[in-house]
Amino acid sequence: MATKTPNKNQRQKHALFIIILIAAILICINILTSFFHVGVDLTNEKRFTLSNPTKKMLAHLQEVAVIDVYLSGKLPAQYQRMQEAVRERLQSFKEIAGNRVVFRFINPLEGKTDDEQKQIVHNLEQKGIRFIERSSKEETEYNTQKIFPFALVQYNGKEMPIYLLEQRPVLSPEQEEEMITYAEALLEYKFANAINTLGKPTRPRIAYITGNDELLDVHTEDMLSTLPYYYDLDTVDITHLEGQHAHIPVSYDAIIINQPVKPFTGPEKLKIDQYIMHGGHVLWVINNIKASLDSFISSPQFIAMDYGLEIDELLFKYGVRVNNDLVEDKQCMPLGRTYDGQIDKKDWIFFPRINPTNEHPIVRNMDFILGEFTNSIDTLKSTGIKKTVLLQTSKYSRTASAPARVSLSLMNYPIPEKMFNKSYIPIAMLLEGKFHSAFQNRLAPDYLRLLDSLHLPFKKSCDTATSMIVVSVGNIFRNGYSAKNNRVINLGFYQYDSYFYQNMNFLLNCMEFLTDKSGILESRSKEAKLRLLDTGRIKEEKNMWQTINVSIPIALVLVFASCFIFFKKRKYETK
């Protein structure tokens, strides 16, 4: 019995059914993909994979974190790329936290009148959100666009702005590409750190120690006005701690000792020592040599002398020594002098241009740091103390022991490179472990009676591991000041090359490491690699790759068409 051949209408209905079925399947797949976000991180540095501390923090969110991203609207290409990077990163947050992370992209000026836009800009500035202007050419006209590269994180009844880019100078398209890539690598840290900070029931307490003529004037305004955004900040005069308060309270999570110039007395050193033995953390900024540009006011040269801080015995016991010398570095900042109304800029070897190269989260991926008159640091044997070099000089460095002659003539007669016979001199160290007291076995009876009256037993060593950071970079946290305009200059800005250095970020990272044990800082270690095309190979192999890109798709279509015609013809010939 012959098989009944389907007529034309049946074949058409069958084909229509197949088309509708395929369309329905594709629609269902698209709907499902809108709810489920799956990605595979194929980068060597795992740039798009969340770190374990971030995952742990997101998995334990108690409330909903709302994130408003203002980088929206019709944007230039490089900002569209950043926008997509932000979207991908927040989507990966949502995969871990579920409905406890909500984000939205907002164009704050869209559809607003000029007056409304002015008010919106003002309101956003009050929250720390500012715009940048970007010019673009459309046909025959140049248009200026306001772009807000910020996000606002709201969590636990508080909010915090996030700057999505980085303050890096952009001189070429390649540098702009590098800046965007660097900013993308830091997105996880910025958002995770904001949520983690806002989620703390109480903010960490830190104390800025005074009493030994530490730096405390208009030149610390940027530092002391920025820290209160993240910490409860007090100033503590160590010389006036008397009676029942003759010690540094252990309730402070960390203390900052920033460039003292007066010698420390025995009781003052004991207060610091016992604070550390009780688990306290310290950021030391110690510069042993009296040297500043103000010394050139009366003479083109001066002799840099030792302050005599009497702090060496403490640091010796903890495992480091800040030397009485000046570092000279071939990789340095320019210094300007005015001649006939013109500024003549030349290298100034006493101002190192510090390039952080360590893999530690405090400094990894960090841009240059501005340094001034700086001492070298040596490490000493100390049992159970882990030492990590955070900052160091360049390959071409040397030191001059105090008393050292500093002369402006060095700008006119550059020192030969071969005379910089030292490399990678440590100038900032991280110390971690259970420290031993510098007063162990040599505590004076008066000190013992003082501690007994306060009901504070003398501690010979730490019960639990703690940490401290020792920095010998001169004026590393000193901001500039314009007396002419009565204006504070941002910390890290250097007038002679108009460059924003990373001094503020280094300060904040140090304090975060000392006070926060969540490990979120680890996410800052994501490596930012810019994989640019080899321009030489592009020129040499241009024609070959153009031919491949054009010919292979055409060849594949022809092969597919030939096979289709061949099998179809064979099918009907057989029938």
Residue closest to 494 by CA, chosen among 167, 164, 163: 167
Q: Is the pLDDT of residue 383 over 80?
A: yes
Cis status of the peptide bond prior to 403, with omega within 30 of 0: yes
Length of the chain: 575
Q: What is the mean pLDDT of residues 563-574?
A: 68
Instruction: Tokens for 260, please give them.
Output: 């003292």
- The pLDDT tens digits for 14-57 are 767 777 877 788 788 777 665 555 555 545 555 567 888 899 99
Q: Give the tens place of pLDDT for each residue, 226-243.
A: 999 889 999 999 887 665
In this structure, are residues 182 and 163 in contact, taking their beta carbons and an 8 Å threshold? no
pLDDT, tens only, 392-412: 999 999 999 989 999 988 888
Query: Is residue 395 in some structural domain?
Result: yes
Report the candidate in 542, 489, 566 with the shortest Cα–Cα distance to residue 220. 489
Residue 450 has a pLDDT of 66
pLDDT of residue 37: 54
The yes-or-no verdict on residue 499 having pLDDT over 70 is yes
Q: How far is CA 6 from the centre of its chain?
A: 71
Q: Are strands 466-471 and 426-433 parallel, antiparallel or unpaired?
A: antiparallel
Residue 36 pLDDT: 57
CA 396 centroid distance within chain:
26
2 assigned to some structural domain = no
Mean pLDDT, range 195-220, rounded to an integer: 92
Residue 520 lies in a domain: no
**Number of helices (H), then strands (E), in the chain:** 12, 27
DSSP label at residue 4: P
Q: How far apart are CA 252 and CA 207, in angstroms?
A: 7
Query: What's the gap between Cα 400 and its chain centre?
Result: 32
Mean pLDDT across 185-212: 91
Tokens standing for 529? 């690699």
- Domain boundary residue, one of 139, 163, 196: 196
Same structural domain, 215 and 148: no
Which one, of 286, 272, 254, 257, lies nearest residue 513 by Cα?
A: 254
- Residue 376 domain flag: yes
What is the distance between the alpha carbons of residues 109 and 133, in angstroms, rounded to a whole number? 13
Residues 122 and 214 in one domain: no
Is residue 325 one of the residues assigned to a domain?
yes
pLDDT for residue 3 is more than 70: no
Percent of the chain with pLDDT over 70: 84
Q: Do 130 and 233 fall within a single domain?
A: no
In sign, the C-alpha dihedral spanning 570, 572, 573, 575 is positive
* 71-102 residue pLDDT tens: 888 888 788 888 999 999 999 999 999 999 99
- pLDDT, position 119: 92
Average pLDDT of 414-437?
Answer: 92
Q: What is the predicted pLDDT for the residue at 256?
A: 97
Clarify whether residues 544 and 502 are in a common domain. no
Does 294 score more than 80 pLDDT?
yes
Residues 432 and 488 in one domain: yes
pLDDT of residue 388: 95
CA atoms of 329 and 397, how far apart (whole Å): 4
The mean pLDDT of 229-258, rounded to a whole number, is 84
What confidence category does residue 431 fall into, taking pLDDT thresholds of 50, 70 and 90?
very high
SS3 sequence, 112-138?
Answer: CCHHHHHHHHHHHHHCCCCCEEEEEEE
Residue at 536: amino acid letter: G
Specify which residues 147 forms β-bridges with: 132
Of 196, 230, 259, the position where a domain reaches its end is 196
Q: Are residues 186 and 238 in the same domain?
A: no
pLDDT of residue 342 exceeding 50, the answer is yes
Same domain, 436 and 545: no
Q: Are residues 76 and 173 in the same domain?
A: yes
Phi, psi of 380 (to 5 degrees): -120, 160
Total domains present in the chain: 3
Average pLDDT, the chain: 84
Torsion on CA atoms 556, 557, 560, 561, rounded to nearest 10: -150
DSSP letter, residue 141: E
The secondary element (H helix, E strand) that includes residue 335 is strand 332-339
Domain boundary among 173, 196, 219: 196
Q: What is the pLDDT of residue 246?
A: 67
Q: Above 60 in pLDDT, residue 296?
A: yes
229 and 180, same domain (yes or no): no
Q: Which residues contact 64 (CB under 8 A, 6 or more apart)?
A: 99, 100, 101, 102, 155
Render 482-499 in DSSP notation, one character per residue. ETTTTEEEPTTEETTTTE
Task: Please tell me whether residues 408 and 291 are part of one structural domain.
Answer: yes
Any domain includes 527:
no
- Report the pLDDT averaged over residues 288-310: 89
Structural domain range at position 139? 52-196
Q: Summarize the confidence of residues 213-238 as an average pLDDT.
A: 92
| CB atoms inside a 10 Å sphere around CB 474 | 24
Whether residue 219 sits in one domain with residue 76: no
Residue 37 is assigned to a structural domain of this protein:
no
293-300: which pairs have CB atoms within 8 A and are 24 or more residues apart? 295/406, 296/408, 300/407, 300/408, 300/409
CA distance 167 to 185: 15
Q: Does 296 lie in the same domain as 211?
A: yes
- State CA 237 to chain mean position distance: 31
CATH of the domain at 503: 3.40.50
The pair of structure tokens assigned to 520 is 């979120």
Look at the alpha carbons of 154, 160, 163, 166 in this order and tell me if their dihedral is positive or negative: negative
pLDDT digits (tens, 9 = 90+) for 124-173: 988 888 888 877 655 556 677 788 899 999 999 989 999 988 765 544 55
pLDDT at 530 (0 to 100)? 47
Least confident segment among 259-273, 304-318, 441-455: 441-455
Instruction: Give residue 233's pLDDT.
Output: 95
Which alpha helices (DSSP H) does 7-137 contain, by range? 8-35, 52-59, 77-97, 114-126
Please check whether residue 139 lies inside any domain of the structure: yes
What percent of the chain shows pLDDT beyond 90? 41
